[in-house]
Structure 1
Amino acid sequence: MKSRKPFNTIRNKLMLLLLAATILPIATSMIISYNATTGSITEEAIAKNNRLLSLGKTNIMNYMSNINQKSLAVYNSMNVPRSLYYILERSLEDEVFPNDLTDVINNRNLLKDHLYSIYQSVSEFNKVRLYVVKQNATYLLWNDDIKVGENDKDTLAATVKKASIEPTHQSHNYGLNIKFGDVNDEMVFTLHRPIFRAPSEELLAELSIDVRLTVLEDLNRQLYDGGKEDFYIVDANGQIVLASNKEEIGSKIDQTWMNGIYSSSEDSGHFDWAEQSFEGMIFYDRIKTPYMDWYLVKQTPYSHLYSAADRVARINIWVGAAFLAIVVIATLFISFTFTKPLLRLIGYVNKIETGNLNVSIDIQSNDEIGLLARRFRSMMQTINNLILTEYRLEIANKTNQLKALQAQVNPHFLYNALQSIGTVSLQHGDHKAYGLITSLGKMMRYHMNTMDSVVELNRELEYAQAYLDLQKQRFDTALGIRLQIDDQTRRILVPKMILQPLLENFFKHGFAGADSPSELTIASSLSDDGRLLTIRVQDNGIGISDERLAELRYGLDKPPPHGVVNSQTQSPLPSSSSASVAVSSQEAGGIGLQNVLSRLRLHFHPSAAIELEQVRPHGFSVTIHIPLGEGE
């Protein structure tokens, strides 16, 4: 006896089934829950970050608009004497720069008052610088101290033509060789505003305001999670105005993902990014005004974005592990409890296998296994009683098989015998008998070939000709045969034995008798596009009534009888005793029109059809339409 494979035991199968029934639902639930959670978190994160960046954009625009308005204070009270614009327009400064720089500026206090007013208007202003083009002089205000110096000759070329924001940089003295008291240089961004003589474009001066980053940092601190997300404000040239990592402020951003933001046709949006340095989602929004072009960019790593989903997944894993442990314990208990009596029953079977059919099977449980043991005892008693009977039946079966072999006749022997008879007839000059035997031999050979279910139309025509030759001899009458065969159709494959039922029914139901001349026409044609084969069998027999014609047409429209699908099977079919070419009778066991139609539709296409028509003044016609190129 072969040993049982460990994994084929009921115990192992039961354990695997219970484990699969537990693990698969839990794992599927975890996967679905995780995907649903991450999807929901992603959608929520996109909406949330779009709102945050939009809010940050609004706050920054309001703040920068306020700074811009303060810089426009130069144009206030343009025609009022002692205003800043009035002083610049009329060149009231008489500042000169002697070698010892000791002369006093007549309007310095007034100029200082104007610059100090701008300086005090916003607490984050670090320095205010006024460059006067005509005198090539720079006035620099820091805290309460104002310094004056002469600029280099190239300073005029460096002035701006319109208001603009210089990205964050280290605070400096604009090239002046001067020194304030206790200067604490810090990172600032600068608003540069040219001052023109209205309404011309003559440049009078340039006002520069250094702004500390404190308010800008406060406005954007709520837009990201410090230490988990990165935040940038970057200008159109890639200079970092503000960053969550302060060491990057003032430098040029060196990130390939920034090119995607610059090339985007949208001013705001988001996209996924995955590379060695960062994997997550990037959100951005653009601030574009006449004097600034900034981008607010926020990087959210997947690890932070999906942290809540990961926590849920870990909880699910621990819950699943706990349930799995319970299932394993329960499975072991159930498998051992249920399989123990089965193992005992297997032991009894092993004894029976040795030939001891009188083993006492002692399993008294009331469950299915106990019922199986009782039925097994009953079965063994029945087997003991049937063994002798089985031997006798086997001997009788062998005897019947021998008799069946003795009763078989080889059809090839009959065909060869016909050939021998035909040869003898030819030797004695009986050419008519030889021809009939040859026709019969062709029919037998055609019938004997059971391998082909479809044949060329030419072979079907040859069989029909042999059949007609025998029928002409049988009825001893003049029978006119007209073949109107298109040569293009001879090589086309058609189901075997589709013409013989039609011809047989002519002699059976439409033949008028030996005293009346008969004519039978077999025609075939191919449509112009080569996709439809038409075969027509027409006679001049006794015809058919209109009522019977309607019945036949109705029968062809109905589904075929059960089992009428094989060209080699002769199944009972409805009768058409009054038609010249109709369905064979059930008693005759022939293959009728409905069988032919069923085989055509099986081999070719459901659109195959058979058309029945009366021939006037008398006769009947059957036309077969076979679509080509659509079936096997």
Structure 2
Amino acid sequence: MHAREGLIIPGFPLFKNTIRNKLMLLLLAATIVPIASSMVISYIATKNSITEEAVATNARLLSLGKTNILNYMNNINQKSLAVYNSMNVPRSLYYLLEHDMEDEVFPNDLSDVIRNRNLLKDHLYNIYQSIQEFAQVRLYVVKQNTTYLLRNDDLKVGQNEQRPTDFNSSGKTSIEPTHLSHYYGLDLKGSTQEPVFTLHRPIFRAPSDELLARLSIDVKLNVLADLNRQLYDEGEQFYIVDKSGSVILSSEAEVPVQEKVLEWFTKVARAEEDSGHIDYKGDGFAGIIFHDRVKTSYMDWYLVKLSPYTHLYERAGGIARINAFIGIGALAIAVLATLYVSLRITKPLLRLIGYVNKIETGQLNTAIDIHSNDEIGVLARRFRSMMQTINNLILKEYRLEIASKTNQLKALQAQVNPHFLYNAMQSIGTVALQHKDMQVYSLLTSLGKMMRYQMSTERAVVELAKEIDYVQAYLDLQKQRFDTALEVTLDIDPRTRPIVVPKMILQPIVENFFKHGFVPDGQEPAKLRVASSLEEGSLTIRIEDNGKGMSEEQLIQAMHQLTRGEAAAASDWNSPASEEGGIGLRNVLSRLQLHFHPKATLSLYPVTPHGLGVMLHIPLEEGAVSNV
């Protein structure tokens, strides 16, 4: 299988590299890519919009919840301050505490004890009834080490064998996190316990810091839960947590598992801002945590709302599913349209391929029956025209082949002429030697060298030494012609002789001197100098004469033609073309750049006082020196 036939997997013709399959892939890609991109972009934009909206909405909700909680807790705190009301009135609660309940533990008058206890019950009952969700009110009197607990309209009194566990707590008002209500050391059999949080307020003897008693109010969670129920939806979690990480309120259960809260609360507590949101992924939860802080002198709570990504982006998922259904529908339409278009376009192409296969077997006169007006019809008509042209060319080729055979015969006959000339010159040379005419023999030898060198086609490049010998033979003939009117100087660096150069690059330049620069009747002899040198890895050849030379304008024009690359640039000092059969300077430059280096140059320059110089500059590379 050739590579151009495409990938063919048995049983899967779709993988054939055909125009039909390419069209299908192109149309499918043109449909799928925009739809898929639109779905992805729409989903991302929707998610971002939902996230921004959720952040703003939850910030408002938590701020509202913060205000409600603050008002509610301030009300509870205010009720606990009732103990300080009417401080100097003998029947006030503070007065009773300040006077140690008239020594209720060891009374002298039982009626006073009962009267004081009932009065204490009335005060505690007023606090208990002030807010409906108060579960119980406890008053612990320090000096008596006695606990008074008002629960369900009943006052229970008892002495503690030891001080309560909360006695050594901070001297400030504080809130104990949610717990099951306890009995503060009293024996209350049959009583039920329920989740509450407790406000503990120490009562001091004014204006000293002597602790008289400790008032504790257990508060049910129902109102606190109702205040915050509007802050979260189903599927979300809501917590009120104090700064130590203890849970005050939870949307999951009345008393949640504390470890679940601690997993994410450390990040909330370390947040730089009191309110904000955090992206969180942990065990059992991945979503956004929204938080706000409620801080007063007696409490430091965090309102925390956990919104899972599945809940936040449920609407985005619905939009994505709608887009997916639309995309599937569009894809189905695109597939049907692709099949129709591909079959409509490629069926004539398949027929055309069938005709080509017949022609390939040699049936050149196959009729191509495709007459549509589209591009394929134009291609079929052009193909018919091309086949007619090919048939005509084949007939011409037969005629040309016959003519070629005739030309080959003539070429074989022409090959006899050079051998005949060599043999004739050798015979003439022998006669010259017999008559002791060394001059004629020398001239024949120079002419023979030139003919052998010029007619040899075995090598395109030769050593510079052979090129110099050829030029020497040419100049020997010219010196015989002009005698003393011509002086030739060869200044050849021995290091340059083995360097290979293109054949016939010096003789055309030397010949130009005799055609256009030589003045045979001049007052001084014509001088021609050929020199070579090797400098810094480059071969430089100079051919200088004292002929007519060129004007500055002609020199500039000739160099311009050389650099512009015209066909016969500067081959003649005064005309743009050489004589018929001559090799122009541009030809010399082209062969230098072709065989050696594209940076090889040929330049013209004036010679003082008159004349012209030609310089060949050839950068040498490895292998430029012959090993012969």
Structure 2 length normalisation: TM-score?
Answer: 0.65
For 2:275, give the aligned amino acid: S
Corresponding position of 1:209: 217
Q: Pairwise mapping of residues 46-195 of structure 1 onto structure 2 (< 5 A)?
A: 46-96=55-105, 104-155=113-164, 157-158=167-168, 160-179=170-189, 183-195=191-203
Q: Deviations over 1:288-337 (max 9, x none)?
A: 22211222221111111111111011111111111111221222222223
Aligned partner (choices 196, 199, 203) of residue 204 of structure 2? 196
Q: C-alpha separation between the residues in 1 aligned to 2:266 and 2:75?
A: 31
SS in 1 for 2:115: coil
Corresponding position of 2:481: none
The answer to whether the 8 Å contact 1:19/1:328 transfers is yes
Structure 1 length normalisation: TM-score?
Answer: 0.65
Residues 352 and 446 of structure 1, relative CA distance in 2, 3 Å threshold: closer
Residues 1:438 and 2:493 aligned together: yes
Residues 240 and 386 of structure 1, relative CA distance in 2, 3 Å threshold: same
Residues 570 and 244 of structure 1, relative CA distance in 2, 3 Å threshold: farther
Residues 1:12 and 2:21 aligned together: yes
Q: C-alpha separation between the residues in 2 aligned to 1:326 and 1:259?
A: 54
The answer to whether the 8 Å contact 1:279/1:301 transfers is yes
SS in 1 for 2:466: helix
Q: Pairwise mapping of residues 213-224 of structure 1 onto structure 2 (< 5 A)?
A: 213-224=221-232
Corresponding position of 1:375: 382
Corresponding position of 1:268: 275
The answer to whether the 8 Å contact 1:169/1:250 transfers is no
Q: Deviations over 1:188-245 (max 9, x none)?
A: 000000011111110011010000001111111111112x111111122221111111
Residues 380 and 194 of structure 1, relative CA distance in 2, 3 Å threshold: same
The answer to whether the 8 Å contact 1:238/1:253 transfers is no
SS in 2 for 1:436: strand
Q: C-alpha separation between the residues in 1 aligned to 2:169 and 2:397?
A: 118
Q: Pairwise mapping of residues 530-609 of structure 1 onto structure 2 (< 5 A)?
A: none
Residues 388 and 232 of structure 1, relative CA distance in 2, 3 Å threshold: same
Residues 1:415 and 2:491 aligned together: no
SS in 1 for 2:462: helix
SS in 2 for 1:265: coil
Q: Deviations over 1:174-201 (max 9, x none)?
A: 111245xx73321000000001111111
Aligned-pair identity (%): 58
Aligned partner (choices 330, 336, 340) of residue 347 of structure 2? 340
The answer to whether the 8 Å contact 1:60/1:216 transfers is yes
Q: Deviations over 1:350-387 (max 9, x none)?
A: 11111111111122333332222222211111111122
Q: CA deviation at 1:588?
A: 8.7
Q: CA deviation at 1:43?
A: 1.3
Residues 1:384 and 2:360 aligned together: no
The answer to whether the 8 Å contact 2:463/2:499 transfers is no
Aligned partner (choices 274, 290, 293) of residue 297 of structure 2? 290
Corresponding position of 2:437: none
The answer to whether the 8 Å contact 2:136/2:151 transfers is yes
Q: Deviations over 1:13-45 (max 9, x none)?
A: 222121111111111111111111111111111
Q: CA deviation at 1:414?
A: 3.7
Q: C-alpha separation between the residues in 1 aligned to 2:306 and 2:195?
A: 23
Q: CA deviation at 1:72?
A: 1.3
The answer to whether the 8 Å contact 2:102/2:113 transfers is no
Q: CA deviation at 1:413?
A: 2.4
Q: Pairwise mapping of residues 233-382 of structure 1 onto structure 2 (< 5 A)?
A: 233-246=240-253, 248-249=255-256, 251=258, 253=260, 255-382=262-389
Q: C-alpha separation between the residues in 1 aligned to 2:400 and 2:87?
A: 131
Q: Deviations over 1:56-78 (max 9, x none)?
A: 12211111111111111211222
The answer to whether the 8 Å contact 1:285/1:295 transfers is yes
Report the aligned-residue RMSD. 4.8
Structure 2, gaps ≥5 residues long: 416-453, 472-487, 503-525, 530-534, 547-551, 571-583, 588-598, 600-628
Q: C-alpha separation between the residues in 2 aligned to 1:416 and 1:71?
A: 124
Structure 1, gaps ≥5 residues long: 423-432, 449-472, 477-489, 512-543, 553-560, 574-586, 591-602, 604-632
Residues 77 and 247 of structure 1, relative CA distance in 2, 3 Å threshold: closer
Corresponding position of 1:518: none
For 1:438, give the aligned amino acid: D
Q: C-alpha separation between the residues in 1 aligned to 2:206 and 2:490?
A: 127
Q: C-alpha separation between the residues in 1 aligned to 2:562 and 2:263?
A: 72
Residues 563 and 193 of structure 1, relative CA distance in 2, 3 Å threshold: farther
Deviates more, 1:346-355 or 1:280-289: 280-289
SS in 2 for 1:256: helix
Q: C-alpha separation between the residues in 2 aligned to 1:324 and 1:158?
A: 75
The answer to whether the 8 Å contact 1:138/1:148 transfers is yes
Q: C-alpha separation between the residues in 2 aligned to 1:474 and 1:276?
A: 103
